[in-house]
Amino acid sequence: MTGSKIASSGLHSAAASPTAAITPSPPRRRAQTPPVVWRILRHDRDRIQELASALKAPMLIGHLLLNRGICDVSAARVFFNDDLLSLHDPATLPGVPEAADRLVHAIRNNRSIVIYSDYDADGVCGAGVLYRILKQCGARRLSYYIPSRFEEGYGLNAEALRTLARQRRETHRNGLEGDRSSLKTSQTSEAHRADLVVTVDCGITAVREAELARELGLELIITDHHHFVGDPPRADVVVHPRLPGSRYPFDSLCGAGVAYKLAWEVARRCYPNSAPLALRRQLDECLALVALATVTDVMPLKGENRIIVQHGLDLMNQDPGPGLAALVELIAKRPITSGVLGFHLGPRINVAGRLESAYKALDLLIGDDPERARSIAQELDQFNQQRQQVEREMVEHARAKIERQGDPATRGGLVVVDPSWHVGVVGIVASRLTEIFHRPTLVGVERDGLISGSGRSVPGFSLYDALASCRDLFESFGGHSAAAGFKLPANRLADLIQRFDDYCQAHLTPTQRKKQILIDAETPLALLTLNLVRWIDRLAPFGLGNREPVLLAHDVKVVDSPKVVGSQQSTLKFKVCQAGSPVFNAICFKRTDHFAEILKPGTTGSLVFQAQLNSYRGQDSVQLEVLDFRRPQQDPVEIVVEHSPPQGDSM
């Protein structure tokens, strides 16, 4: 292990101008950012050579595969295999056969089916999958319901079930719309009761609601993928990859992935011999929706997810269907990569439920009118711009509140609440604050004595377990290791602040308290040929569980003055080189104020980056996306060399 002093310089951050709804705080000296550690992974050279030679690949590719736990040639060939035939049989997913039988019976007997989904991108995409496939399989009395984030909150709720069970239904263009006060009325009302409710991306903790559905005479199928403790609800069927006794070989499907498996099995049972061409096309197109949900919901890109996302990306780059095509046209980014899904398309689907109604996003995904799709896409883009402004103001306000509470570096977990904030943006704000302070963070909005909030965690630390340790305080909570949501009576806030901090103090490891950059290899810039970078590109799609390779080069020189570009002036472009290397274009999306200040022509230092292909007018070139730059004397950093992938890291 090698090391040096821990860097202690703070990040430069321009404050956003507050709106009337958010009270500005007086200027304060910013808290120091957490220490930064560069963790460099190394392997035995013979193992790298053996793997690279067998694949006829550059040495660096062997190194990168080993870092991802791919240690032999057979595993590498499985990794590079994206054949759809490698997807697991949907009938082996717990609950799918029984749920498919019930849905087929409902279709053939003209029973009323209501798809009840979450309002985030995973739920909306999953609802789109089920709606399109069930409709193609002949469902005529098919509608959907998405609860209001603002009035109903996450998951199944009793009042919605009671409304769905009434004799008269008010529908919104084939869908039942949850409004802030009640179901919206429209000109297309139907007089039929809901016979069967099938959830998407919610319901696994809805024990009381499942009992109510029985009392109301509603047939209930729950499909979900979230964590749960104890016995699942007593629904008619529960579809979940991690049910007790499950032997399903992959447990990390998103909610839309679970819905896709169910839809696939329904299609097989409706057409056991040969499915119509239109149905097969719908199943293919729906892979794009599942890919979008998988990346946006930050699921690990391993196993089935890797295959689904790869094929979904292929579809989006060719013929994604009217809805996604309108969004792709709007953002004008090609090719569509997992990064484009996560940073551009996903937020525009999510924003509908954050700021207004998730029905706009679902209408986009299930519609077949290109003109209407373009209109909705433009609305979602405008919402996204509003969301970005609200987010900037809330982050600045929340950051000031946290810093007034004392040095965040001495804290275990952070909790910040304000009644003026927008409840639809708390999750994104929690994510930004976690990036800034590198602590598990909960952000909430208080309304009428109840706090609704969301949280994000640092790598390797289970936020779900932290909240579970305070379960007696919450009205409800749920989520994942990395992200969770909660509802809390306002009079218990002080207890939550103390207990959440105590738990985090006790369970955060010294490593988890430091902001880290995991570096795959030290690589001279001269080795970054087009051939090598194309090989790196073959490791995609990148995301959780298959992160984009990060490289390090020392003695890198800045060739010209950085230029600030982009519509929001938040991107930095400059050129770099190393002795014996060509000059490379470099681009930076984070800490641009800081780097613009320190990067001058002739400045030398150590560069942490990702090597990417950049295509312009038919010509490919190598571009470096900068993650960090350290001058040898002014910007000390701790360097840790590890000789195998550390346990618990998302490789």
CATH of the domain at 555: 2.40.50.460
pLDDT at residue 197, as a whole number: 97
What does the pLDDT average to over 177-206? 62
For 394, other C-beta atoms within 10 Å of its C-beta total 28
Is the predicted pLDDT of residue 299 greater than 80, yes or no?
yes
pLDDT at residue 522, as a whole number: 94
- The verdict on 256 and 316 lying in the same domain is yes
Least confident of 1-5, 317-321, 331-335, 411-415: 1-5
pLDDT > 90: what percent of the chain? 74
Indicate whether 2 belongs to any domain. Answer: no
Q: Which of 513, 539, 571 is the last residue of a domain?
A: 513
Is the predicted pLDDT of residue 62 greater than 50, yes or no?
yes
Is the predicted pLDDT of residue 12 greater than 90, yes or no?
no
- The verdict on 98 and 55 lying in the same domain is no
Is the predicted pLDDT of residue 163 greater than 90, yes or no?
yes
- The verdict on 168 and 285 lying in the same domain is yes
- The verdict on 45 and 151 lying in the same domain is no
Indicate whether 223 belongs to any domain. Answer: yes
CA–CA separation, 337 vs 539, rounded Å?
A: 12
Least confident of 3-12, 42-51, 164-173, 589-598: 3-12
pLDDT at residue 4, as a whole number: 29
What does the pLDDT average to over 16-26? 34
Indicate whether 339 belongs to any domain. Answer: yes
What does the pLDDT average to over 401-409? 92
Taking only the tens place, the pLDDT of each residue in 342-365 is 999 999 999 999 998 999 999 999
Q: Which of 451, 485, 513 is the last residue of a domain?
A: 513
Is the predicted pLDDT of residue 153 greater than 90, yes or no?
no
Is the predicted pLDDT of residue 26 greater than 50, yes or no?
no
How many helices (H) and strands (E) the chain has is answered by 20, 21
CB 455 within 8 A of CB 504: no
Give 490: exposed, middle or buried? Use CB within 10 Å, 0-12, 13-18, 19+: middle
Least confident of 82-96, 156-170, 231-245, 291-305: 156-170
User: Using 50, 70 and 90 to split pLDDT, how confident is the model at 34?
Assistant: low
CB 38 within 8 A of CB 608: yes
Least confident of 70-79, 110-119, 437-446, 589-598: 589-598
Is the predicted pLDDT of residue 171 greater than 90, yes or no?
no
Continuous segment of H or E residues that includes residue 515: strand 515-519
Is the predicted pLDDT of residue 21 greater than 60, yes or no?
no
Give the domain CATH number at 420: 3.10.310.30
Taking only the tens place, the pLDDT of each residue in 563-586 is 988 767 778 999 999 998 999 999
Residue 541 preceded by cis peptide, ω within 30: yes
Is the predicted pLDDT of residue 188 greater than 70, yes or no?
no
pLDDT at residue 397, as a whole number: 97
User: Using 50, 70 and 90 to split pLDDT, how confident is the model at 597?
Assistant: confident
- The verdict on 472 and 416 lying in the same domain is yes
CA–CA separation, 279 vs 136, rounded Å?
A: 6
Spatial CA neighbour of 434 closest among 536, 342, 530, 515: 515
pLDDT at residue 511, as a whole number: 86
CB 571 within 8 A of CB 587: yes
Dihedral sign, CA of 307, 540, 341, 327?
negative
- The verdict on 64 and 115 lying in the same domain is no
Structure tokens at 61: 């590719």
- The verdict on 227 and 347 lying in the same domain is yes
CB 592 within 8 A of CB 571: yes
- The verdict on 57 and 176 lying in the same domain is no
- Which residues, at least 6 apart from 85, have a Cβ–Cβ distance to it below 8 Å? none
- The verdict on 133 and 72 lying in the same domain is no
What does the pLDDT average to over 6-14? 26
- The verdict on 286 and 174 lying in the same domain is yes
What does the pLDDT average to over 131-142? 97
Indicate whether 614 belongs to any domain. Answer: yes
- The verdict on 220 and 136 lying in the same domain is yes
pLDDT at residue 639, as a whole number: 85
Is the predicted pLDDT of residue 9 greater than 50, yes or no?
no
Residue span of the structural domain in which 58 resides: 36-81+516-642
Spatial CA neighbour of 195 closest among 110, 111, 107: 111
pLDDT at residue 645, as a whole number: 56
Is the predicted pLDDT of residue 173 greater than 80, yes or no?
no
Most confident of 1-15, 308-322, 589-603: 308-322
Indicate whether 327 belongs to any domain. Answer: yes
Structure tokens at 193: 């009761």
Is the predicted pLDDT of residue 19 greater than 50, yes or no?
no
Indicate whether 394 belongs to any domain. Answer: no
In this structure, the strands spanning 237-239 and 219-223 are parallel
Taking only the tens place, the pLDDT of each residue in 310-350 is 999 999 999 888 999 999 999 888 889 999 999 999 999 99
Indicate whether 268 belongs to any domain. Answer: yes
Taking only the tens place, the pLDDT of each residue in 420-469 is 999 999 999 999 999 999 999 999 999 999 999 999 999 889 999 999 99
pLDDT at residue 625, as a whole number: 96
Mean of the per-residue pLDDT values for the chain?
A: 88
What does the pLDDT average to over 135-162? 93
pLDDT at residue 627, as a whole number: 94
Prediction pTM value: 0.85
pLDDT at residue 154, as a whole number: 84
Domains held by the chain: number: 3
Is the predicted pLDDT of residue 150 greater than 60, yes or no?
yes
User: Using 50, 70 and 90 to split pLDDT, how confident is the model at 189?
Assistant: very low
Continuous segment of H or E residues that includes residue 485: strand 483-489
pLDDT at residue 649, as a whole number: 45
Is the predicted pLDDT of residue 74 greater than 50, yes or no?
yes
Least confident of 312-321, 347-356, 503-512, 632-641: 632-641
CA–CA separation, 573 vs 267, rounded Å?
A: 50
Indicate whether 448 belongs to any domain. Answer: yes
- The verdict on 481 and 612 lying in the same domain is no
What does the pLDDT average to over 621-636? 91
Least confident of 25-39, 92-106, 390-404: 25-39
Give the domain CATH number at 315: 3.90.1640.30
User: Using 50, 70 and 90 to split pLDDT, how confident is the model at 198?
Assistant: very high
Taking only the tens place, the pLDDT of each residue in 365-389 is 999 999 999 999 999 999 999 999 9
Is the predicted pLDDT of residue 219 greater than 60, yes or no?
yes
Q: Which residues pair with 611 in a beta bridge?
A: 624
Q: Which of 513, 547, 581 is the last residue of a domain?
A: 513
